[in-house]
């Protein structure tokens, strides 16, 4: 089981157990979420169903290029989200913060027929958005659904890997390489349930679908023949289209 899954399941079990042992509230539920209330949210990804599609031009500058399409699943290894929240009204909240993720791209081949193994890579993106809190459930006043939308701003990310040159030309060593992707922006649309634990904190569990607002550029270059002349490198340039579902759990602490 991946680290993200283990940590996320632990938080999910804590959330479920917490609902049975929540301390008694001094006032009415959700009185702490009023206009001007400020909180700090910590979210942990629980699972992800993410993929990436790419349209590339692959070739050697001194020879020519050919189009290539490929796709792959993206497996998250771990992640953490830190958000500052401000209640605009009793229903509307604004939030912003940082979202750290570490990925493993399972089988993307942007340099085919030259096969590559991409190393896991991480991104730290900036998030800002709005959340709407619906009315609490009848008979369960501490529990209320929410809906939210946010924009994620991804800076340029460096990617590294190993080009399996030995599979094309036996006797030659495999070649490490570096590349880049981005910057780009994504839209996230989500929903979930929030549970008030005490006068200052809430737990939540939810999911979001992320889709790109812009297709990020990608570029890879490998000195596959060892000559050192960039005109003879194997090059891949193009655009990628990431997106998918993310499930999370978390907690928000409100300051008085």
Average pLDDT of the chain is 86
Q: Dig out the tokens for 44 from the structure.
A: 């942990």
On whether the CB atoms of residues 45 and 4 are closer than 8 A, the answer is yes
Q: Dig out the tokens for 18 from the structure.
A: 């917490």
Q: Helix, strand or coil for residue 153?
A: strand
Looking at the whole model, is its pTM more than 0.85? Answer: no
Asked if pLDDT for residue 73 goes beyond 90, the answer is: no
CATH number for the domain including 22? 2.40.160.20
Q: How many domains does the chain have?
A: 1
Nearest C-alpha neighbor of 194 from the set 51, 13, 19, 36:
19
The CA-CA-CA angle for residues 231, 236, 237, to 5°, reads: 105
Return the C-alpha torsion angle 60, 66, 72, 77, nearest 10.
20
d(CA 174, CA 170): 10
pLDDT of amino acid 1? 39
Cα R_g (the chain), whole angstroms: 23
Other CB atoms within 10 Å distance of the CB of residue 238? 20
Would the CA dihedral through 56, 57, 59, 61 be positive or negative? negative
* 20: confidence class by pLDDT, cuts 50, 70, 90: low
Element (H, E) at 144: strand 143-154
Asked if pLDDT for residue 171 goes beyond 80, the answer is: no
DSSP letters, 229-250, are: -GGGSEEEEEEEEEEEEEEEEE
118 vs 195 pLDDT, higher one? 195
Q: pLDDT for 216-253, tens place per residue?
A: 999 988 888 778 888 888 899 999 999 999 999 999 99
User: Which residues span the domain enclosing 63?
Assistant: 3-255
């Amino acid at each position: 089981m991946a680290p993200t899954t283990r940590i996320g399941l632990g938080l999910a079990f804590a959330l479920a157990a917490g609902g049975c042992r929540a301390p008694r509230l001094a006032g009415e539920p959700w009185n702490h979420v009023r206009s001007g209330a400020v909180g700090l949210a910590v979210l942990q990804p629980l699972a992800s169903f993410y993929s990436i599609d790419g349209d590339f031009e692959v070739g050697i500058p001194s020879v020519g290029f050919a189009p290539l399409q490929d796709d792959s699943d993206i497996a998250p290894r771990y992640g953490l989200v830190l958000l500052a929240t401000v209640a605009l009204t009793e229903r509307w909240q604004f939030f912003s913060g940082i979202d750290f993720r570490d990925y493993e791209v399972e089988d993307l081949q942007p340099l085919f027929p030259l096969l590559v193994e991409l190393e896991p890579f991480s991104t730290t993106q900036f998030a800002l958005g709005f959340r709407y809190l619906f009315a609490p459930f009848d008979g369960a006043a501490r529990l209320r659904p929410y809906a939210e939308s946010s924009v994620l701003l991804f800076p340029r990310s460096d990617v590294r890997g190993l080009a399996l040159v030995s599979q094309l030309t036996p006797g030659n060593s495999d070649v490490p390489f570096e590349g880049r992707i981005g910057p780009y922006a994504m839209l996230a649309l989500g929903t979930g349930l929030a549970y008030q634990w005490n006068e200052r904190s809430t737990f939540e569990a939810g999911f979001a679908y992320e889709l790109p607002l812009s297709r990020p550029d990608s570029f890879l270059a490998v000195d596959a023949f060892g000559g050192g002349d960039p005109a003879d490198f194997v090059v891949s340039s193009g655009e990628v289209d990431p997106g998918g579902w993310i499930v999370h759990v978390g907690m928000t602490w409100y300051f008085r």
